[in-house]
């Protein structure tokens, strides 16, 4: 995985985009439900990688391949895998959130719990 097929966005950029009007963004969190119970950001859709078989076949019906899509996980590894998969499915504007929700908690909003 080279990472050249998709972009990256910092948690600071994410916070700015969320503070503006995120209506044009598709926000995906690939973490597990138990992780979301600890910490999550509003307006993200949860598509856990472990449940890939349940949501992968209709991802093009649930999401628009043309819309800007930002993907979040704990540190940025699983979200990078998801970004690469989305690109392989024809998504053209995909960005990994660098550092994941952990970096968001450290650099943007310390009220978001760390785990």
Instruction: Give residue-wise pLDDT tens across range 14-32.
Output: 999 999 877 889 999 999 9
Going by C-alpha positions, the residue among 81, 74, 76, 82 that lies closest to residue 47 is 82
115 lies in a domain?
A: no
Domain count, the chain: 1
**CA gyration radius, the chain:** 13
CATH code for position 18: 3.40.250.10
Q: Which domain holds residue 35?
A: 7-107
Which residues contact residue 111 at a Cβ distance below 8 angstroms, ignoring those fewer than 6 apart?
Answer: none
| Separation between Cα atoms, residue 47 and residue 44, nearest integer Å | 9
114 lies in a domain?
A: no
From the candidates 71, 73, 101, 108, which is the catalytic residue? 73
32 lies in a domain?
A: yes
78 lies in a domain?
A: yes
In the chain, pLDDT over 90 holds for what percent of residues? Answer: 89
Query: For this structure, is 83 an active site residue?
Result: no
85 lies in a domain?
A: yes
2 lies in a domain?
A: no
Q: How much is the pLDDT for 23?
A: 82
Cα torsion through 2, 44, 99, 51, rounded to 10: -60
From the centroid of its chain, how far is CA 46?
A: 9
113 lies in a domain?
A: no
Q: CB neighbours (10 Å) of residue 67?
A: 13
**Of the given ranges (2-6, 39-43, 58-62), which has the lowest mean pLDDT?**
2-6
Alpha helices by DSSP H, listed for the chain, are: 11-19, 33-38, 52-55, 59-62, 77-88, 100-107
16 lies in a domain?
A: yes
């Amino acid at each position: 995985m080279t990472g050249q097929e998709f972009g990256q966005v910092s948690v600071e950029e994410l916070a700015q985009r969320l503070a503006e009007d995120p209506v044009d963004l598709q926000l995906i969190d690939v973490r597990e439900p138990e992780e979301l119970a600890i910490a999550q950001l509003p307006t993200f859709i949860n598509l856990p990688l472990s449940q890939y078989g349940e949501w992968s076949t209709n991802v093009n019906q649930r999401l628009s391949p043309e819309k800007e899509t930002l993907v979040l996980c704990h540190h940025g590894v699983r979200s990078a895998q998801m970004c690469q998969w989305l690109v392989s499915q024809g998504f053209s504007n995909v960005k990994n959130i660098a550092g994941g929700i952990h970096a968001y908690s450290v650099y943007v909003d310390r009220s978001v719990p760390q785990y």
